[in-house]
Every structure is written in C-alpha cells, then in structure tokens.
C-alpha cells in the first residue's frame, strides 16, 4: 500500500467505496500512531528509571565513603517527574524481564571495590582504644591519648623528655624519686629498689607482711590483689596470666624441651613422666630422694631417680569469685623405672617461661644420668644444667624478637592481613620476664649454682655444650 498522502482514486472507481477505503486507512494510521506514542512513553519511563538507578548507586557509594570519614552527606535529590512527549525513540521497548532485572540490581547493597584502601585507625598505646583524628600525642612513634600518658603518682600529664618508666608505669622524674609503688605514697625519703625491676618502695614493706610474687619477686602494690595458690604461694596477675596449672597443660612444653635437646645433638632417648605438683609434694619427694639442700635455694623442680608415690596436680584450679582459685584436683601415682630416671617434678602455677627454664635444667640432669655422667662434681653438674636452662631462655629471647617482627610486618599489611594469627606474640611483661630469669642465673652468687654457671659458661665459649660434655667424659675415662 502506498503513502496515505499520495493516495488518489482512479476515475473508474466508485467514489463511495473510495471514501470507505480512505476512512479505514485513516483509522489504521491513527491507531498506529497512538500505539507508537504509547511505546515511546514506556521507553522514556524506562530511560528515566535507568537514570534514577544510576543516581541511586552513586549516592550509595557517596554515603559509604562519607560514613568511613564519619560525615553523612545530604540525601540525593529526587528524580525529575516524568513528562509525556510525542517524540518517538529509536530504542527498542523494555520487556518485563528487563524491568525486573533493573529493579533487582538496584536493590543490591553497594560494596566497596577491592582496590579501595580503608585508612588505618590509630589505637592508644595506653588504653588501646581508638583515638579520634588530631587527639593524640606521639610517644616514640606510638600514639597516646594525652590523658593516658600521665604520671602514675600525681596523675598529671607528663612530657616525653621528663618522665621515667618501669614495669608499673610512667612518672615525672621528681615524683619517681619519692614515690613508693607499694603504698603509693610520695613522701618517701629512704627507699629500697629491686635490682632488676628497679621499682622503689619503702623499706618497711619487706617485713610488714606485704605479699611477694613467688615467680618474679615483685611486691604487691596496694589494691592489685595478688592470687594465692592452694599451697600458700602468691602470684602477681601478670605471672598468673601465663601460669601452667596442671600436668596435662605442661605436656606441650615437655615436647618442646625434648625437641630443643634434639636440636643440640643431645636427644633424650628414654621416656619418663613429667608431673606438676604442689610445694608440699615437692618437698616430700626431695626428702625421699635423700637430697640434702645445703645451698639455701628454693626448690622448684627435681629429677627423681628413686621409686616413690607422687601426688600431682591432675586438674588445675580456675579463677572463682573475688579472684579466689577454686577446683584444684590431685591424684597419686607410683613412679617406677628400669633406668636412672623415674620422673621430673615441677611446681605448678609458675609462668610458662619459668616452668620451661626449670624443666630444661632438670631435663639436663636426666640427660647426664642416662648417658653415663654419674658422680660429677656438684658444682660442675649444676653449672651444666644452669647453662642449658640459660640457653633455652636465650632461644625464647629470639622468639620474642621474631614475634615482634612478625607483628610489625602484619601491621603494615593491607586490611586483608588484619586477621593474621596472633600466635607467638608476647606481652611486654613476658619480654621482661625472660630477661629477669636470665639475669637471675647470671647474677646468682651461690657457690654451687652461680659459680657453676660461670665456670661452665666460660668452658663453652669456644665450643658447644655437647663437645664440652664429650671432653669431660673423655678426661674422666
């Protein structure tokens, strides 16, 4: 059929029929135009909906970025109202599936891209809570709340240049000179000072019943509430946090010490029990072993060579109300053996580092007995065992350095590395406790343990401990 505007009837055609045809053609074209206009309106609505969706996505991203900066932007303006027009779009109309897909996609939560970097949050080196932007002081590269970096005596802010730090906190130099960390008085004229921890205290606290930690030897400050074990020993809260409390709990450390001996080419071939015990059980075992302690030292572990019944801590206590330990369980067993060692006993409730050092010392006694080093001079044997214990503590010192390096490395990673395992990280107190234990060995003034350590330590300066033992055995043969 030709164009409507060019339609002209021929003379032979009936005018009435032509008029009828023309009316039908006009009606068809009018209906076609109306349908086209309806489709055009629908296309326009879809286009405006698409624009609104894009605006919504951009607004969602703006809101998320603003939330990270703690600034909420105003809501986006509403989309412009739909207007009808008679222009016919060249785009194909959207079907129902396309419209549902657009609406479904627009309802999804907008997430940041993988390349987006979230700025790190500053944490206070004192309270470990977040610091608001601009509200911190820098202390040796670590941000602090100004109120957290304050004097432990007068509680006023202190400057980096005018402060003294120890295991109990930070102080003005003037306050530190006359501040007793036990009674928290600032009027002290004469004082005593711990040789390692360097904490100053009134001399009267050594005899007035102030509790002393059995592990680190620090006195109890007022208001801190040391924990008393069932056998009467006191522990500070820092030592308590890593204390090994029963025989089952110490076994991983047992395996670690055996592996340490293996790496020194000094493998302990025989198996024997390692038991944690209370002070009374350790003293009883020492008596039955017929060990004459003439050296004035406190017994914290023993390597047994005689058969006897030992009461060990099978289930350690747990912290109950008012910081009281409850629930300790013990059981008795007979220790027997066909060789020179029947068991190793160690006091329960000591921090892991001190327990490990004592175990390394007693395991060295076991190694000497099992490998023919019998009847050694007492000074020589105890010196060898002290050197081995010191070597194990040295290995833990390097472990703290490795853990600190790993912690620094992980902190410099992007947010994806924030969930890295914290296994192996050390508290500041544990790092100091390693040094304390080593210092106790190095500065021991006793004729057996102290002198023995220094003599044997000098012997192994130019060789290793295994070669030194071989030379001792060769000379005795």
Under a CB-based contact definition with an 8 Å cutoff, are residues 180 and 201 in contact? Answer: yes
Dihedral over alpha carbons 213, 219, 225, 227 (to 10 degrees): 10
Sheet of strand 274-277, all strands in order from the earlier edge strand to the far edge = 274-277, 343-347, 301-304
What per-residue confidence (pLDDT) applies to 187? 65
The closest alpha carbon to 363, from 346, 349, 350, belongs to 346
Q: Could you tell me if 218 and 241 are in contact, meaning their C-beta atoms sit under 8 angstroms apart?
A: no
Distance of CA 144 to the CA centre of its chain: 20
- Segment (H or E) for 228: strand 227-228
Residues 6+ apart with CB under 8 A from 284: none
In this structure, the strands spanning 329-335 and 308-315 are antiparallel
DSSP β-bridge partners for residue 312: 331
How does DSSP assign 5-65, residue by residue?
GG----TTS-HHHHHHHHHHHHHHHHHHHHHHHHHHHHHHHHHHHHHHHHHHHHHHHHHHH
Q: Which helix (H) or strand (E) holds 279?
A: helix 279-288
- Token pair of 397, please? 């010192």
Give the residue among 459, 223, 245 at the shortest CA–CA distance from 349: 245
The pLDDT, as a whole number, for residue 76 is 59
- Indicate the burial class of 162 (C-beta count within 10 angstroms; 0-12, 13-18, 19 or more): exposed
Ramachandran class of 13: left when φ > 0, alpha when ψ lies in -120 to 50, beta otherwise: beta
Please report where in the chains the tokens 């500065």 appear, as a residue: 443
Q: Is 134 helix (H, G, I), strand (E, B) or coil?
A: coil
- List of domains in the chain: 124-179 (2.10.110.10), 191-239 (no CATH), 244-403+426-475 (no CATH)
What long-range pairs does 137-143 form, CB within 8 A, spacing at least 24? Answer: none
- Pair 368, 283: CB distance under 8 Å: no
Chain centroid to Cα 258, Å, comes to 26
Maximum Cα interatomic distance, the chain, rounded to a whole number of Å: 147
Closest to 349 measured CA to CA, from 323, 298, 315: 315
* Token pair 């401990």: residue: 465
Q: Supply the pLDDT for residue 82.
A: 47
Average pLDDT, 10 consecutive residues per value, the chain (477 residues): 45 51 59 72 74 68 56 55 45 56 54 55 75 67 73 67 61 69 75 87 89 94 89 94 96 97 94 96 90 71 94 94 89 91 97 97 95 87 95 83 47 34 66 95 94 92 83 70
From residue 287, how far is each of 283, 290, 299 by CA, in Å?
6, 5, 12
């Amino acid at each position: 059929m030709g164009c409507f505007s060019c339609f002209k009837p021929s003379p032979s055609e009936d005018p009435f029929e032509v008029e009828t045809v023309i009316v039908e053609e006009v009606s068809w074209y009018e209906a076609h135009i109306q349908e086209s206009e309806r489709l055009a309106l629908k296309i326009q609505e879809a286009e405006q909906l698409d624009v609104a969706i894009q605006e919504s996505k951009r607004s969602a991203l703006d809101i998320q970025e603003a939330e990270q900066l703690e600034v909420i932007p105003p809501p986006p303006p509403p989309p412009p109202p739909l207007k009808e027009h008679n222009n016919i779009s060249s785009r194909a109309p959207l079907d129902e599936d396309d419209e549902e897909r657009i609406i479904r996609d627009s309802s999804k939560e907008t997430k940041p891209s993988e390349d987006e970097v979230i700025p790190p949050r500053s944490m206070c080196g004192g309270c470990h809570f977040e610091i608001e932007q601009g509200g911190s002081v820098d202390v040796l590269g670590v941000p602090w709340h100004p109120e957290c970096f304050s004097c432990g005596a007068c509680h006023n802010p202190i400057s980096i240049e005018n402060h003294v730090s120890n295991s109990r906190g930070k102080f003005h130099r003037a306050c530190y000179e006359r501040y007793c960390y036990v009674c928290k008085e600032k009027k002290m004229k004469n004082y005593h000072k711990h040789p390692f921890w360097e904490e100053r205290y009134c001399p009267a606290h050594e005899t007035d019943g102030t509790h002393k930690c059995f592990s680190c030897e620090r006195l109890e400050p007022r208001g801190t509430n040391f924990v008393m074990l069932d056998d009467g020993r006191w522990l500070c809260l820092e030592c308590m946090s890593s204390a090994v409390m029963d025989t089952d709990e110490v076994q991983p450390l047992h395996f670690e010490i055996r592996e340490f001996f293996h790496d020194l080419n000094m493998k302990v071939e025989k198996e024997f029990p390692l038991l944690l015990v209370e002070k009374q059980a350790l003293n009883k075992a020492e008596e039955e072993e017929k060990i004459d302690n003439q050296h004035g030292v406190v017994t914290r572990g023993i390597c047994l060579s005689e058969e006897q019944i030992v009461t060990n801590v099978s289930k350690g206590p747990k912290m109950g109300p008012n910081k009281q330990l409850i629930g300790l369980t013990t059981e008795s067993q007979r220790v027997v053996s066909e060789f020179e060692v029947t068991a190793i006993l160690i006091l329960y409730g000591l921090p892991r580092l001190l327990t490990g050092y004592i175990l390394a010392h007693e395991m060295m006694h076991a190694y000497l007995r099992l490998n023919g080093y019998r009847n050694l001079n007492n000074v020589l044997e105890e010196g060898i065992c002290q050197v081995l214990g010191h070597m194990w503590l040295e290995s833990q010192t390097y472990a703290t350095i490795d853990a600190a390096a790993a912690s620094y490395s992980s902190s410099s990673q992007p947010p994806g590395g924030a969930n890295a395992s914290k296994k192996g990280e050390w508290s500041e107190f544990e790092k100091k406790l390693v040094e304390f234990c080593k210092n106790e060995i190095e500065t021991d003034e006793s004729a057996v343990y102290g002198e023995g350590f220094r003599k044997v330590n000098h012997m192994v300066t130019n060789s290793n401990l295994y070669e030194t033992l071989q030379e001792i055995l060769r000379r005795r043969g």
